[in-house]
Amino acid sequence: QVQLVESGGGSVQAGGSLRLSCAASGYMGTDYCMGWFRQAPGKEREVVATIYTSGTGGSNTYYADSVKGRFTISRDNTKNTLLLQMSSLNAEDTAMYYCTARRFMVVGQYCSLAYATPGLFGYWGQGTQVTVSS
């Protein structure tokens, strides 16, 4: 079983920065996909960024067009933590942000945004709220 616990959300003014963290516990396998989704009121849950970790030691990151150049997804392997560094925030980034994971993903392509729908992921955190005021 995998458990995910997010932290780091809050309120910030437009142009500001926040860093979200997701503490992961449980066995993920050697090849897996983790990511961040967000959901604003009245909107569908959408993917923000994903990161694929390969058993060979490599990793690939993928970003939604709306956050490219502003957000960075990464993993702190020593702490088993997924991170999302967000900068140049704007009001459209206001949403509940969710950490998610899919274990045993041998084909890394499925971690890309073309495949990263909510149904692909079996584990979710409780979410952390990000509010950006203009």
Integer Cα distance of 8 and 26 in angstroms: 21
Residue partners of 77: CB distance under 8 A and separation at least 6: none
Residue 6 banded pLDDT, cuts 50, 70, 90: very high
Strands 32-39 and 59-63, by their bridges, are unpaired
- The larger pLDDT score, comparing residue 56 to residue 45, is at 45
| Terminal C-alpha separation, the chain | 40
Residue whose tokens read 């990151």 = 61
Is residue 16's pLDDT more than 90? yes
Q: What is the pLDDT of residue 57?
A: 82
Q: What is the pLDDT of residue 70?
A: 98
- Secondary structure (H, E, C), 68-92: CCCEEEEEECCCCEEEEEECCCCHH
Q: In the numeric block, which tokens belong to residue 23?
A: 């503490």
Residue 40 banded pLDDT, cuts 50, 70, 90: very high
Name the percent of the chain lying above pLDDT 90: 85
Query: What digits encode the pLDDT tens for the residues 54-98?
Result: 988 889 999 999 999 999 999 987 878 999 999 999 999 999 999
Mean of all residue pLDDT scores within the chain: 95
Q: In the numeric block, which tokens belong to residue 117?
A: 């729908």
